[in-house]
């Protein structure tokens, strides 16, 4: 793969992200991806091994971006688990709100591939991040939860579902406030 042309690779990923967001896997044609990326179809194969690899790369890149932003956010609110948790929810909403395809990310039930591992590792990283925030809150006694590992799963699930089917009249802020409140309430120390 060419080194300096990281640009072109990103153009392809952007195009693919947008198309996989709109249509299911089997309805996205590599012809379309190439066209949208202003790239020859053969070029796709210089940067990715095939359609599935491209698909995973899309998910992976976007997922990694999300994790990075969440890490930043956690760092910014050190020692304030409530703010950290709200920040996580906020980042999740921002990610999912505009990237329908991206829902696949949290799904992972479908594609099974050799390097599925790299992939589920990334997913595990997200959940661990959340779980750690929960544990630190429990330790600091601002949260109460017998199974933070499960709760870590709930939170992306909550955000995902509300982003997919959000009521028309509702703004992102409304959703953030309500979902954040819902989770904090559930975790309130007894």
Partner DNA sequence: CATGAATGAGTGTTCATTCAT
Partner DNA sequence: AATGAATGAACACTCATTCAT
- Please report, as ranges, the residues that interact with a copy of itself according to CB under 8 A: 23-26, 100, 103, 106-111, 123, 127, 146-147, 149-151, 153-154, 156-162, 164-167, 170, 174-175, 178-179, 181-183, 185-188
166, 175 Cβ separation under 8 angstroms:
yes
96, 160 Cβ separation under 8 angstroms:
yes
Which contiguous run of DSSP H or E holds residue 185? helix 172-187
Residue placing its CB nearer to DNA in the complex, 24 or 121: 24
Query: Considering only residues 13, 15, 28, 56, which one is a binding residue for DNA as defined by CB under 7 A?
Result: 28
Does 45 contact DNA by CB under 7 A?
yes
Q: What's the sign of the alpha-carbon dihedral 7, 12, 13, 18?
A: positive
- Site residues for DNA, window 125-144 (CB under 7 A)? none
Residue placing its CB nearer to DNA in the complex, 25 or 182: 25
User: What is the distance between the terminal CA atoms of the chain, rounded to a whole angstrom?
Assistant: 56
User: Out of a copy of itself, DNA, none, which partner does residue 188 contact, by CB within 5 to 8 A per kind?
Assistant: a copy of itself
Read off φ and ψ for residue 115, nearest 5 degrees.
-90, 25
Does 11 contact DNA by CB under 7 A?
no
CA–CA separation, 2 and 96 (whole Å): 31
Which residues bind to DNA, rule: CB under 7 A?
1-3, 5, 8, 26-31, 34, 38-43, 45-46, 50-52
């Amino acid at each position: 793969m060419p080194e300096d042309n990281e640009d072109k690779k990103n153009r392809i990923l952007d195009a693919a992200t947008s198309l996989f967001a709109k249509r299911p896997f089997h309805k996205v044609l590599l012809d379309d991806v190439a066209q949208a990326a202003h790239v020859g179809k053969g070029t796709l194969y210089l940067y990715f091994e095939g359609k599935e690899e491209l698909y995973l790369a899309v998910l992976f890149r976007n997922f990694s971006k999300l994790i990075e932003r969440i890490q930043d956010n956690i760092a910014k609110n050190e020692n304030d688990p409530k703010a950290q948790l709200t920040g996580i929810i906020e980042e999740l909403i921002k990610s999912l709100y505009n990237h329908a395809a991206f829902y696949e990310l949290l799904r992972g039930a479908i594609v099974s591939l050799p390097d599925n591992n790299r992939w589920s590792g990334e997913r595990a990283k997200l959940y661990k991040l959340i779980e750690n925030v929960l544990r630190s809150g429990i330790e600091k006694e601002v949260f109460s939860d017998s199974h933070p590992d499960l709760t870590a799963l709930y939170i992306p699930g909550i955000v995902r579902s509300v982003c997919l089917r959000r009521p028309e009249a509702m703004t992102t802020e409304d959703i953030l406030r309500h979902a954040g409140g819902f989770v904090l309430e559930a975790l309130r120390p007894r």
